[in-house]
Structure 1
């Protein structure tokens, strides 16, 4: 396994604990609606969203959930590389014929975690992800799995993430520490809100070790609380 799967390679680390905190925050993010299908995206490429998606999937499985991780980044798929899985077939084939799922899915990659890689990159990713067949597939999988995590392309590059958000119960946005600009995050937020996406929060990735962590989860409610506390301290 590659070292960025810290929830497997260094389960007692600060980073692994941060992912477990992220899992807990997501589980308690909504009292009225179960968060079962989760899209993980970022504003632009290279911000660590696939690493976050993979580690999230592992922590949910460690918590006794039956989890399906789907590499829905049909432009630059990396999930198969992180877990060292073959990728000659994958979600693209299953969309065309859902009966192939049991033959193609990688079962129990870690205990409780099944993985569906991307397969060969198609010429029309947005159309495939926005198809009725894909939506029907996710609905079917929701009856079989406790949690489904979709690794999505970046928001500002293509429309795929917006499409995936419409069939998800919530979306996590990954931003890279010291790199992602505030206006990029706000633009990503606007794009999700345009399709009435449920934004669960933001994960700040690649925080230097001296800042006591590698990933830090920070919900919009946390931001409001922090802002209110700051106002009180000025009084």
Structure 2
């Protein structure tokens, strides 16, 4: 019975790890597209360095968490010291992707139960650390707009070259808008054949209202017929 549970756990771990294609298969066409997105972001910051990036989507299931994780990986592969932060306090997933516990994390640091350095998880990917969500709070938007969040960003900038935030969908809650207004740029993830045009427009309008810098839009899950891969594009 124990061996069956162990086998099932291993299968779950492998399935979640496959989301990190930029680490597991860095030469794949999909990984190359993530590197193209990285280059586009670098070129968008000629006048000033981009130190913090928010990754969000219009709705659920559009691939923003997978995108955030893989973007963090390719920036780490470039030599930057990167912190990936699970800012989705509604449905956190980064601890599954990296197979770590979520007993402490972002909420622990914001509530001052732990310091930032005590809350961070080291990953087995060079130059990449992870700050999971931690215990889910009753007031995510308030936490993200708090003075503690401002202080946490200041602390992050002392230890890391870049921080990548995975945040909830824009049309669901205000969290992404709140955090985007504190960061250097935002990437909007849309899903080909899934995201409705009106929802995409509404999501952009919300970002425009918050007066944030939109670094680009990633079109996720666009299938290229001549290959078995999916294309991740950016504007």
Same fold per TM (> 0.5)? yes
* Shift of residue 36, structure 1, vs aligned partner: 1.2
Of the structure 1 ranges 94-103 and 62-71, higher mean CA displacement relative to structure 2 is found in: 94-103
Q: Of the candidates 204, 210, 223, which is equivalent to residue 189 of structure 1?
A: 204
* Shift of residue 72, structure 1, vs aligned partner: 0.3
Spell out the pairing of 1:1-235 with structure 2 (5 A cutoff): 2-97=17-112, 100-210=115-225, 213-219=229-235
How high is the TM-score relative to the length of structure 2? 0.89
Q: For the residues of structure 1 that align with 2:67 and 2:226, how far apart are their CA atoms?
A: 18
Structure 1 runs, 4 residues or longer, greater than 4 Å off: none
Q: For the residues of structure 2 that align with 1:59 and 1:214, how far apart are their CA atoms?
A: 17
Q: For the residues of structure 2 that align with 1:147 and 1:108, how far apart are their CA atoms?
A: 16
> Any idea what the Cα deviations from partners look like across 1:189-232, whole Å, max 9, x if unmatched?
1101111110011111112252655242322xxxxxxxxxxxxx
> Any idea what the Cα deviations from partners look like across 1:48-75, whole Å, max 9, x if unmatched?
0000000000000000000000000000
Match of 2:6 in 1: none
Of the structure 1 ranges 205-214 and 10-19, higher mean CA displacement relative to structure 2 is found in: 205-214
> Any idea what the Cα deviations from partners look like across 1:74-125, whole Å, max 9, x if unmatched?
0000011111111011100001117522222112431000100001111110
* Shift of residue 154, structure 1, vs aligned partner: 0.3
Change (3 A) 1:36 1:98: farther
Residues 108 and 114 in structure 2, CA contact (< 8 A), matched pair in contact too: no
Unaligned segments of structure 1, at least 5 residues: 220-235
Secondary structure of 2:83 counterpart: strand
Match of 1:224 in 2: none
Secondary structure of 2:159 counterpart: coil
Change (3 A) 1:103 1:164: same
Change (3 A) 1:102 1:30: closer
* Shift of residue 176, structure 1, vs aligned partner: 0.5
Q: For the residues of structure 2 that align with 1:177 and 1:65, how far apart are their CA atoms?
A: 30
